[in-house]
Amino acid sequence: MSKPRGLIAHTWSGLKKDPLGMAGFVLVSFILLLTILAPWLAPYDPLDVNVHNRLSGPSAAHWLGTDQLGRDILSRVLYGGQVALKVSLVAISVAMAIGLLLGMLAGLGPRWLDRVLVIGFDTVRSFPTIMFALAIVALTGPSLNTVIGVIIITSIPVYARVVRTQTRALRQRDFILAERAMGASTGRILRDHVLPNIAAPLFILASMDVPAVVGMEAGLSFLGLGVSPPTPSWGSILNDGYSYLRNSPWPIIAGGIPLIAVTLGFTFFGESLRDIFDPKLRGKDR
């Protein structure tokens, strides 16, 4: 019999065997570190305008050049990362919590409740996200909170459906019946027996969801529906750069690379996590 291993040790040894997953993990940690340390790392104030030095290429003073108002792009990208991080952290955790609750209700509750909730999930999912965001913004005006709200509403069904399916599969299992026969209440069964069994797929889903959320925030900000200027966001940096593409490619490159890095990093990391925790799915979707 092997010695029981901790969760972290198990994850770490799995990552060591998967170079792509390790690369993803390193990339993710690197981006997180840069973003969190943005106030100390950024060489300039991201809002500092210097019209004399506009749209310059990379130099010793401005590593990624400057934008159309002469703002330092590196500083803006770093601060833009904070917006992306804040949106994905808040939106995903809230969507996951609500999705968890609704999914368990649908999975363990009476059949009519399940039907009602599933119809609700499908209705929300059938809306095109951007159209939905446009409609909400038309009502409330562009703001970061609107972006977060839209992402939460459209992400809840994603989590809820996974939780519902897993819960339904679990409730057929003998150990849940055994717990009932031992007098466990429904709350205890959900907390102690369903939750640990669905935690792994949920976290894998969340890590794969980060790029989608970051991309959505960038997209909405690009369209002018997200953060209001002059707050830097990767999307608004892209939008600024897009208008001046003929003058300088640097804003586009600087705004695009972090998006690509986040997508690749979290996808590789997420896939590796999935392989570690659910060997049955190994090799699918590749």
Partner 1 sequence: MTAPVLDIRGLSISYGTEAGALKALRDVDLEVGEGSIIGIVGESGCGKSTLISAIIRLLAPNAQIVQGAVNFKGRDLLGLSSEQMRALRGDEISMVFQDPMTSLNPTLTIGRQMSDVQHRSTVSRSEKNACSVMMLERVGIPDPEAQLKRYPHHLSGGMRQRVAIAMALMAEPSLLIADEPTTALDATLEVQIIHRLKELQREFGCSILFISHHLGVIAELCEEVIVMYAGEVVESGPLREVFIDPKHPYTRKLLECDPARIAEPTRELPVIEGSLPNLVNLPDGCIFKDRCSKAEARCGIEPPKMSGDGHRAACHLLDHFQETSP
Using CB under 8 A as the binding rule, the residues of this chain from 189 to 228 that contact partner 1 are 192-193, 196-197
Structural tokens at position 213? 């959320």
Contact 161, 102 (CB under 8 A): no
Name the residue nearer to partner 1 (CB basis): 73 or 176.
176
Name the residue nearer to partner 1 (CB basis): 27 or 170.
170
Does 37 interact with partner 1 (rule: CB under 8 A)? no
Structural tokens at position 43? 């060489």
Stretch that binds partner 1, among 76-84, 142-150, 181-189, 209-217 (CB under 8 A): 181-189
Return the residue of 180, 215, 230, 261 that touches partner 1, per CB under 8 A.
Answer: 180
Does 177 interact with partner 1 (rule: CB under 8 A)? yes
Return the residue of 184, 208, 253, 264 that touches partner 1, per CB under 8 A.
Answer: 184
Query: Closest separation between CB of residue 24 and partner 1, Å?
Result: 25
Does 175 interact with partner 1 (rule: CB under 8 A)? yes
Does 169 interact with partner 1 (rule: CB under 8 A)? no
Does 8 interact with partner 1 (rule: CB under 8 A)? no
Give the C-alpha separation, 173 to 166, whole Å: 11
Number of residues near partner 1 (by CB under 8 A): 20
Query: Closest separation between CB of residue 170 and partner 1, Å?
Result: 10
Does 1 interact with partner 1 (rule: CB under 8 A)? yes
Name the residue nearer to partner 1 (CB basis): 197 or 231.
197
Return the residue of 130, 188, 223, 224 that touches partner 1, per CB under 8 A.
Answer: 188
Does 10 interact with partner 1 (rule: CB under 8 A)? no
Query: Closest separation between CB of residue 97 and partner 1, Å?
Result: 20
- Give per-residue burial for 82-112: e unless 16+ CB within 10 Å, then b: bbbbebbebbbebbbebbbebbbbbbbbeee
Query: Closest separation between CB of residue 8 and partner 1, Å?
Result: 16
Other beta carbons less than 10 A from residue 47's beta carbon:
15
Which residues have CB under 8 Å from 91's CB, separation 6+?
A: 148, 151, 152, 155, 213
- Residues in touch with partner 1 (CB under 8 A): 1-2, 4, 173-175, 177-185, 188, 192-193, 196-197
